[in-house]
Amino acid sequence: MVTPAAPAGRATSARTRHWLWAAALLAAATLVGLALDDYVSLASEAMLYVLAVAIAAYTLPRAYSLVCAVAAVALLNYFFTAPRFTFRVDDQDNLFSLFALLGVALTISSLGTSVRRETERARLNASRARELQELATELASATTAGKVDVLVQQHLERAFVGPCLVAVLDADGCLQVQAGLPAVVHDGLRACIREGRTLGRGTGRWPGLDAWYIPMRSDEHTGGAACIQNVSAYDQGGLEHANAICALAGQALWRLKLAAAVHDAEEESQWHRAQSTFLAAISHDFRTPLAAIMGAASSLQTQWQKLAPAEQDRLLRTIVGESSHLARLTDNTLQLVRLENAGELRMDWESIEEIIGSVLARVRARGVPGRVTSAVPPNLPLIKADPVLLAQLLENLLENALKYSRDVVELQVQADVSQIRISVHDRGDGIAAGDEVAIFEPYRRGDTSGQRGAGLGLALCRAIARAHGGELSVTARPDGGSTFAVKLPIEYPQPAAEFA
């Protein structure tokens, strides 16, 4: 972003103000001198002009105060030395006094100017130190390169009158600049980044440029560059200040780069840790039912003849039960892996009634007729969903409700304009206090009342809800049991409205 140039009229109005102030000081000295003329000596009247020159020297730039000093001597001569109201000087003594006054006035003027300059410089340095302190504090809380860019731009604009431009390098090392930037500015920015040094007026490098090009660098890394236009080759203090601002920006950008690298490394190691935990848990969970199936199957194979029909039946039921447990485990595992790769989600406009209908049919077919009731209002809006995953979520919630309670389980659907809420209510023992969050983590199991499981179901359900932009939560029911509720957003326009 480039700031506009300072208004051209500002300098002219400052000049007029200075002349008016010098004239006012001299007029005041003359009027007071004339008013006191009968009562005071020429020396006292000269003192009034010395006072006016001293005030002018402290408050006006050097050229104005020098003119004021010369004018003061001329006015003293015209109004107060004989012959009055002429610029002639007849008396030797008066002539000497006028020269002496001129010397004093010029000395005061130059002393006052340098005192004023020193004071201004000290004030400017103090305000620049404050600015840097402020910028350092603000940069410490910047979390993106874009924020660093904005902060540095603001501070440069405050410190310099010319247009300023700040550009940072992206992750691929490309300079982020607005389209239409003049080629000379672009080249200057790139050159100062490449050389890692300040270029432009008063720097001894590329002095033909009418700007400063300053890299934003720390010891190890250059994160971007700034360009400040309309600068003076003699403003070394300004150049130092601009360099200090860019050095702070360079350190902030280097800190962000390091933080990003640490974050990436942490993520990678976390991913490796999760992967090995996952593999260890999966191999254990799969091996247990497999061992039971293999044991039952080989007993049946080798001892079929010797086994009583009841024993044969028990072994067959073991095989069926363990296989269905294994199937559920495999489904949950596969879906969790699928969710890791969100690109594989097949989101489409789906009817929630149809998904619930197929889930209820499957759950009821598994031998629990009558235990599941449902209340689904008609004409529900469509939702954007992956039907397989959503069905898996609802099936897991219903299976859990049936597994961890003995009474009827109720599935309810409610909808408002923005979301659909599907809740599964049971009258089981509920979730132990303090476990309400932990049960949604993978491989975390609560009080299971001896029921089998791998602790994957609810983790998968929550992941599915979130992949659909929704949320899953659990609440305790007032008279015992739990309510697991999934909220899914409704998107607009709905397909019917789209084609209407």
Binding site for ligand ADP (CB under 6 A): 400-401, 404, 426, 428, 430-431, 439, 445-448, 453-459, 482
**8 A C-beta contact, residue 373 and residue 417:** no
User: Among positive and negative, which fits the CA dihedral 379, 384, 385, 390?
Assistant: negative
The residue (of 420 and 463) whose beta carbon lies closer to ligand ADP is 463
As measured in angstroms, the least distance from the Cβ of 295 to ligand ADP is: 22
User: Among positive and negative, which fits the CA dihedral 203, 205, 208, 209?
Assistant: negative
The residue (of 238 and 446) whose beta carbon lies closer to ligand ADP is 446
As measured in angstroms, the least distance from the Cβ of 487 to ligand ADP is: 18
| Euclidean distance between CA atoms 136 and 151, whole angstroms | 10
As measured in angstroms, the least distance from the Cβ of 376 to ligand ADP is: 20
| Euclidean distance between CA atoms 397 and 484, whole angstroms | 7
As measured in angstroms, the least distance from the Cβ of 453 to ligand ADP is: 2
List the beta bridge partners of residue 484.
Answer: 424, 474
**In 3D, which of 407, 336, 418 has the Cα closest to residue 368?**
407
| Euclidean distance between CA atoms 51 and 37, whole angstroms | 17
As measured in angstroms, the least distance from the Cβ of 473 to ligand ADP is: 12
For the chain, the first-to-last Cα distance in angstroms comes to 45
As measured in angstroms, the least distance from the Cβ of 375 to ligand ADP is: 18
**8 A C-beta contact, residue 192 and residue 165:** no
Q: What is the DSSP string of 291-327?
A: HHHHHHHHHHHHHTTTS-HHHHHHHHHHHHHHHHHHH
The residue (of 64 and 404) whose beta carbon lies closer to ligand ADP is 404
As measured in angstroms, the least distance from the Cβ of 340 to ligand ADP is: 17
The residue (of 201 and 425) whose beta carbon lies closer to ligand ADP is 425
As measured in angstroms, the least distance from the Cβ of 361 to ligand ADP is: 21
As measured in angstroms, the least distance from the Cβ of 423 to ligand ADP is: 12
Q: Which burial class, exposed, middle or buried, applies to 57 when counting CB atoms under 10 A from its CB (0-12, 13-18, 19+)?
A: buried
**8 A C-beta contact, residue 168 and residue 224:** yes
As measured in angstroms, the least distance from the Cβ of 140 to ligand ADP is: 42
As measured in angstroms, the least distance from the Cβ of 409 to ligand ADP is: 8
The residue (of 34 and 432) whose beta carbon lies closer to ligand ADP is 432
The residue (of 418 and 448) whose beta carbon lies closer to ligand ADP is 448
Dihedral angle, C-alpha 101, 106, 107, 112, nearest 10 °? 120
The residue (of 241 and 462) whose beta carbon lies closer to ligand ADP is 462
β strands within 230-377, DSSP E: 348-350, 372-375
The residue (of 115 and 432) whose beta carbon lies closer to ligand ADP is 432
| Euclidean distance between CA atoms 70 and 86, whole angstroms | 16
Residue whose beta carbon is closest to ligand ADP = 453
The residue (of 314 and 362) whose beta carbon lies closer to ligand ADP is 362
Residue with tokens 């200040």: 241
The residue (of 241 and 487) whose beta carbon lies closer to ligand ADP is 487
As measured in angstroms, the least distance from the Cβ of 414 to ligand ADP is: 19
As measured in angstroms, the least distance from the Cβ of 284 to ligand ADP is: 13
Q: Which amino acid is residue 37, in one-letter code?
A: D
| Tokens describing residue 145 | 């390169």
- CA dist 411 to 162, 453, 490, Å? 68, 22, 19
Where does 368-468 have alpha helices with state H? 387-403, 457-467
Residue 170 φ/ψ region, left for φ over 0, alpha for ψ in the -120 to 50 degree band, beta for the rest = beta
The residue (of 215 and 470) whose beta carbon lies closer to ligand ADP is 470
b (16+ CB within 10 A) / e for 76-88: bbebbbeeeeeee
**In 3D, which of 438, 491, 485 has the Cα closest to residue 465?**
485
Q: Which residues contact 24 (CB under 8 A, 6 or more apart)?
A: none
The residue (of 318 and 392) whose beta carbon lies closer to ligand ADP is 392
The residue (of 281 and 490) whose beta carbon lies closer to ligand ADP is 281
| Tokens describing residue 7 | 């208004």
Residue with tokens 């998904």: 355
Backbone angles phi, psi at 7, to 5 degrees: -60, 135
Q: Which DSSP category does 205 fall into?
A: B
| Euclidean distance between CA atoms 272 and 262, whole angstroms | 15
